[in-house]
Amino acid sequence: MEEGVNKTEQFQELSLGEIIKVIIDYFNEVRSHWYIVFLFIIPPLAYFAYDAYSDIPKYSANSTFMLNDDEDSAITGIGDLLGAVGLGGRGKKSKGSLAKVLQLFESRRIVESTLFRKTSANGKEDYFANHIIREYGFHEILEESKRGGNLTELDSFYFSHSKIDSFDLQEKRMVVILYNKVAGNAALGLKPMIASNMDEESGIMKISVTTYSENLTIKMLETFYEQLSKYYVDKAVEKQKKIFDILKTKRDSIEGALIFAEFQLADFEDTHRNLVTVKGELKRTRLRRQKMVLEAHYIEVIRNLEKADFALRRRTPYVQIIDPPQTPIFPGKKSLLMGIIMGIVLGAGIGVMFLILRKLVRDALQREENKKN
């Protein structure tokens, strides 16, 4: 029994010794061929160092805001009005209002409406779309999108108007290219210029914009917030606004008819003060009844209009900004030191692996050679 234990201990000691010997051999192999490792370091070091050195500074700004949407209170009393104007029954509380806002932020409608708003940047007033083309370079944008097509035949391209529906084919294609540039496209490997996130517990949302220009970043962020807020509010109250407009039109119509009926009755009273005929009394009664009916309708529509106005005001969400973008913005740029470190680590790792694999193959071939001899 003791003999078996001793053999096991000797085997373990031998194995440990062999492992240490192998490690020392490989260490000596790497140390004696350090120049090979150095050669492997040069290409990734040069690449990462140049990439960091040539990286264009980017300006990124954030804006935080929250949504006040008291939808439950707005629903009170609106169901009857919906039925009265033939638009359905009671409304249902919408869910995910915060998520809708963030989805709208990157939607084509919001991005395009922002691209074709005018602003003054770098001393020139123009559409955001044209500012982006100038800032990034026309050919750079086409090369990144890989969808330039016939547009690459042009030396430059600028939008002359903002009527998207009347754009020609080249203008429409450029709109798609710019949208991919701003919103990003994973399939094309394009990183977005805009981003958004949300804290579900607090309901605070944050949107950010990153460009090559500090002024352009601030202007775009402010315009994105303005377009996003306006569009969301308009869509949120679309049904209530339609009800209000219908009731307002109905009120104006009844009011006009009531004024006309009042003038008719007054004119009849003035011209038939001493009237005693049966036909005259019958017409007087008819005019008075018509006036009373219109008055009743007018009072009813005024009451419904006040309810609709109250519901519209309560339903209208309020997008409240918390932290607007602030200047100055410190540009972000790739670190040259980190680039050098990454190049050295990557190159050294590849060089060491090469030497280890080379020694493994060489030792294996040597063992085979020894067996044959």
Which class for 247: exposed (0-12), middle (13-18), buried (19 or more C-beta within 10 A)? buried
Helices (H), 59-137: 71-75, 78-84, 97-105, 108-115, 128-136
CA-to-CA distance for 286 and 307, rounded, in angstroms? 32
Res 11: pLDDT? 47
pTM over cut 0.95: no
Q: Output the furthest CA–CA distance in the chain (Å, rounded).
A: 147
Neighbours of 225 (CB within 10 A): 20
Res 122: pLDDT? 72
Res 234: pLDDT? 78
Helices (H), 116-194: 128-136, 138-145, 169-183
Res 78: pLDDT? 44
Counting every residue written for the chain, the total comes to: 373
Q: Do residues 57 and 217 touch, judged by C-beta distance below 8 A?
A: no
Res 347: pLDDT? 87
Res 47: pLDDT? 87
Place of tokens 């210029």: 193
Place of tokens 């009265």: 84
Residue numbers in the chain where pLDDT is lower than 50 = 1, 4-5, 7, 10-12, 72-95
DSSP letters, 52-67, are HHHPPPBEEEEEEEEE
Res 75: pLDDT? 43
